[in-house]
C-alpha cells in the first residue's frame, strides 16, 4: 500500500511539470542565486508562472521566500502570484519564510493586499 501511495504522489508531481521549460529553469536558478536582474529578465517572458513546481516540487516563489531573497520575492509578487500556492509538501511561501527565519520575507508576504484568497486565511490555522 505504501508503494502505491508513493507512486501516486510521484505521478501527481510529474503531471504538474509536463510543461516545464528552459525559462522556468532559468528562473529557478536565478532565484537560487539571488540574481535579481536575471529574475526580472525571465519574468518578462510571456507565460512564466513563478508558482509552477519543478520535479522536486519547488517553485521560484517558494524558493525566494525560503532563501530570504527579498528583492526576488518583490519581483515575483509583482506578477500577481497566488499567495496560497503550496509546494509539494503542502507549505505556502509564508510557512517556508517563517520556518527558515526570513523575517523580512514574512513581513512582506503579510503586507500583501491579497493575502486572503477565496475566503481562506493566508495565515496557518491556529492550533489552539
Q: Does residue 125 lie within any of the structural domains?
A: no
122 located within any domain: no
What is the total count of domains within the chain? 1
Residue range of the domain that includes 35: 2-114
Residue 19 lies in a domain: yes
Query: Does residue 126 form part of some domain?
Result: no
Q: How sure is the predictor about 113, in pLDDT bands with cuts at 50, 70 and 90?
A: confident
Whether residue 9 lies inside any domain: the answer is yes
User: What is the domain-level CATH number for residue 60?
Assistant: 1.25.40.20
Instruction: Inform me whether the pLDDT recorded for 44 exceeds 70.
Output: yes
Model pTM?
A: 0.76
Helix (H) or strand (E) holding 99: helix 93-99
Q: With bands split at pLDDT 50, 70 and 90, how would you rate the model's confidence at 119?
A: very low
Helices (H) and strands (E) in the chain, counts: 7, 2
Nearest to 97 by CA among 117, 125, 123: 123
Mean pLDDT of 54-64: 96
pLDDT of residue 123: 55
For the cut 50, the answer to whether the pLDDT of residue 117 exceeds it is no
- Indicate the angle between helix axes 60-67 and 103-110, nearest 10 degrees: 130
Amino acid at each position: 500500500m505504501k508503494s502505491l501511495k508513493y507512486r501516486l504522489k510521484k505521478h501527481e508531481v510529474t503531471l504538474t511539470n509536463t510543461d516545464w521549460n528552459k525559462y522556468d529553469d532559468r528562473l529557478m536558478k536565478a532565484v537560487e542565486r539571488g540574481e535579481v536582474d536575471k529574475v526580472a529578465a525571465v519574468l518578462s517572458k510571456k507565460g512564466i508562472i513563478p508558482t509552477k513546481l519543478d520535479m522536486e516540487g519547488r517553485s521560484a516563489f517558494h524558493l525566494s521566500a525560503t532563501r530570504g531573497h527579498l528583492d526576488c520575492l518583490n519581483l515575483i509578487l509583482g506578477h500577481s502570484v497566488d499567495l496560497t500556492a503550496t509546494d509539494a509538501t503542502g507549505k505556502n511561501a509564508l510557512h517556508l519564510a517563517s520556518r527558515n527565519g526570513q523575517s523580512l520575507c514574512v513581513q512582506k508576504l503579510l503586507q500583501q493586499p491579497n493575502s486572503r484568497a477565496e475566503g481562506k486565511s493566508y495565515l496557518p490555522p491556529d492550533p489552539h
